[in-house]
Chains A and B, each alone.
Chain A
């Protein structure tokens, strides 16, 4: 038995049978991180108190704690460095927050801890989640465990790579335009972006508030569903969370998808796909057909405007969200020999100019420009109007189908450094994932094949708002019927 390959349920079984203690399990993962992560660079910070936390969990277990009351009892996890963790450095992948130690836990983290999960550490990412390759991190790029010359994807690259390399039982990422789904696809893991408003954003460093959602990255669909149950639900600290009851998604998982209407988007041109991606996508369609699903073509004519709308809105919000990093209350401050002689503009300019990387600066400037007087109507406001139209088209589509199936991106993981020099090409990678955030829909990536070059390939599933169960069921069915189920990268 190889512990790192077990599902959450299987791990909990051996924990409760006392075949292994939470302490030993945590130590096991810490050893793996120490041994394997230097080549992958998925962790920015390892939690020095992880073993202490594990001890406390062991005490709980010895006092008879059950998974009925603690759904993630004893499970070691990694958290993207966008989520505040009390007493543990939270950098957002930026120099700006190199030494920032939050005095509070984000709601997601506190809910996971309350359910018995153990924090192994904080995961690498693109700076402030701005990027699709985790190469904009101040702490160095994340390498893909399947091929160390390739990117892990982004922005939640560390979160995806850590699950793939089995450096955590599961991880949490954030997704603003595909930042969970795309790295999950690149690293061969399951990644879920919940409906906007399902999961509290309280305590998560904001990139684009109307698009950001946190979600799980896991080894399998069942684990992902279980984690989602733990983190979802209304939070009185975030008034944009829905008050709807969450559902027991993992318990309700059902691979019987007979009669389910699966939509394929006409405008997603398959001729632009890499052959391997096209092949895996075609296989997934065939599989769903065989399982009794009804395949339909639907139309989202405004798809081509998704990327402009996304970047205009996300950058506008980011320019405002990142204004708080000014060197006054926390974070980086430029060094001045004589504070009394510094002009405020200089103080801000130098602090922010030093603290932010180039991609972040680009987006702040783009956003500032879009919101500035004279440009607001043509950019921010226009984009927000087109956003509604895009959302309306999805609503229309979901009248005739239950779930949309598509590739996650056009290609598998690309080489490190290959696209970083050209921001626009990098932006264009996100075409399939981005409109999902614009419409606030749930979306997920599930592995379904492996390229000739040995890189994993996933497919994306999207449903109407708050229909996570349907999405997870289809993913569950695909997972069961995948030819490459159980494939793992060779990391040593």
Chain B
């Protein structure tokens, strides 16, 4: 597939994303209802979320903290005084007839995030990130619709990028980067399928060289990064087709159908929308002190791209390994802890990318539930480097650690798995084996060097596999060569 569908046809696509990240709080944005995904119909509700007469919103402290954290990680300015406004419209899943959101004074603004592209890094500007509450859920049954308000009032942070992306891949990369960051921060679980991260995409096209932006079309609720790419690619082609055939683009909201790989119009009467935003008199402005913001800034973890760069520079990892190990904060933490223990970052990276991830995948576990602790893995690698155990032995010990988590040194001791690296001890055994196989020695010396393996095997058998193979080889070669009659 062409990287840039549009440029091949003489057009430039202009793409902006609105990402709704569901903040991972225990309770809702403005009341103490639970936010659990699994709950009976309307079980996570109260007078506030059902919008009963007289109910009032009260801000969740954690939601503010998570919003500021995300804003800072996205390089945003944090507004010292931000304001909750009411967005007024009628829809059955909206229990109060208005959504509490932020309008002209959002909590985060003027940010930007670095993403990786084919041509190096690019900074995607973030115009704003504002807090708002989610609506309920409608289930359509043909003759009627059923409403569940469990989701109503769950805190969202809407992250609005600038219209600064020009290809589907770029947009998907940006979305992935934001996804990775919110997960790194622990403010959103980033589950696209359950809707805890939702992407709306704005796409327009214009002839290359033309300055004026084309009419934009919004594609709503795309639930995977792959679909973001597909939806945008389709939409770009569609818009160019429309323009090429002499028609105009209609400003509208479309939905992506992944089965048909097409976007289609939602056919809503949007012309009549007038949200009549005004400051919510039930909520005071959110005042944040310098100190509050500084404290959150201090608590920010190192972000994935920065961490990957550091892993390359100070740990000597290749870029792909560094990127893989920093894809998730817990994995990167695991690596760092294990590498510190082992003193060998490269070997540690290899062990994690092969053995650890393989076992995790096979058992469907996350790195947080990994039975082998990073300290134990580090110790194991250290033992290999010290020549105490062979790589082969290490794999056996790793399996043992996986099924019965404990210190590898304990396993080595208990099973007598310590490698024999004592030269004189090995020499004795080599002498013994050579003495017992005089004819084979003669054959070897007459040129049948393939027999080396036979001798090694015999020595290993004698030592129950504990002899350090490197030393065995070294001594054996010396002995077989040093023949004096």
- What residues of chain A have their CB less than 8 Å away from a CB belonging to chain B? 83-84, 90, 92, 97, 100, 102-104, 106, 201-206, 208-210, 236-240, 316-317, 319-320, 322-326, 328-330, 339-340, 344, 348, 368, 371-373, 376, 380
Q: B54 contacts A83, CB within 8 Å?
A: yes
Closest residue on chain B to residue A96 by CB atoms: B53
Complex CA gap A373/B273 in Å reads 10
| CB-CB under 8 A for A320 and B98, given A203-B55, A328-B92, A340-B142 | yes
B411-450 with Cβ < 8 A to chain A: none
Q: B177 on the interface (CB 8 Å rule)?
A: no
Q: B143 on the interface (CB 8 Å rule)?
A: yes
Q: A103 contacts B47, CB within 8 Å?
A: yes
Interface of B is mostly: loop
Complex CA gap A157/B55 in Å reads 24
Question: Chain B contacts of A203 at CB under 8 A?
Answer: 47, 54-55
Q: B454 on the interface (CB 8 Å rule)?
A: no
| CB-CB under 8 A for A380 and B282, given A202-B55, A323-B97, A339-B143 | no
Complex CA gap A13/B53 in Å reads 38
Closest residue on chain A to residue B51 by CB atoms: A324
Complex CA gap A210/B280 in Å reads 9
Q: B86 on the interface (CB 8 Å rule)?
A: yes
Closest residue on chain A to residue B279 by CB atoms: A384
Would you give the 0/1 interface string for B42-57, flagging 1 where the beta carbon is closer than 8 Å to chain A? 0000010011111111
Chain B contact residue count (CB 8 A cutoff)? 31
How far in angstroms is the closest Cβ of chain B from A26? 26
| CB-CB under 8 A for A323 and B56, given A103-B47, A340-B144, A368-B276 | no
How far in angstroms is the closest Cβ of chain A from B144? 6
Complex CA gap A368/B95 in Å reads 18
Q: B147 on the interface (CB 8 Å rule)?
A: yes
How far in angstroms is the closest Cβ of chain B from A83? 7
How far in angstroms is the closest Cβ of chain B from A393? 21
Q: Known contacts A319-B276, A344-B92; can you find 9 more A-B pairs with CB under 8 A?
A: A209-B281, A237-B56, A238-B56, A240-B284, A320-B98, A323-B97, A324-B53, A326-B97, A371-B277
Q: B113 on the interface (CB 8 Å rule)?
A: no
Q: B56 contacts A202, CB within 8 Å?
A: yes
- Contact for A323 among B59, B90, B277, CB less than 8 A: B90
Q: B282 contacts A240, CB within 8 Å?
A: yes
Question: Chain A contacts of B277 at CB under 8 A?
Answer: 371
- Contact for B54 among A202, A322, A339, A376, CB less than 8 A: A202
Q: B183 on the interface (CB 8 Å rule)?
A: no
Q: A317 contacts B284, CB within 8 Å?
A: no
Q: A239 contacts B278, CB within 8 Å?
A: no
Complex CA gap A371/B281 in Å reads 14
Q: B274 contacts A329, CB within 8 Å?
A: no
How far in angstroms is the closest Cβ of chain B from A392? 19
- Contact for A372 among B54, B95, B276, CB less than 8 A: B276
Q: A320 contacts B88, CB within 8 Å?
A: yes
Q: B58 on the interface (CB 8 Å rule)?
A: yes
Q: B283 on the interface (CB 8 Å rule)?
A: yes
A-B pairs with the 8 shortest C-beta distances?
A323-B97, A340-B143, A210-B281, A371-B276, A209-B281, A203-B54, A205-B53, A324-B51
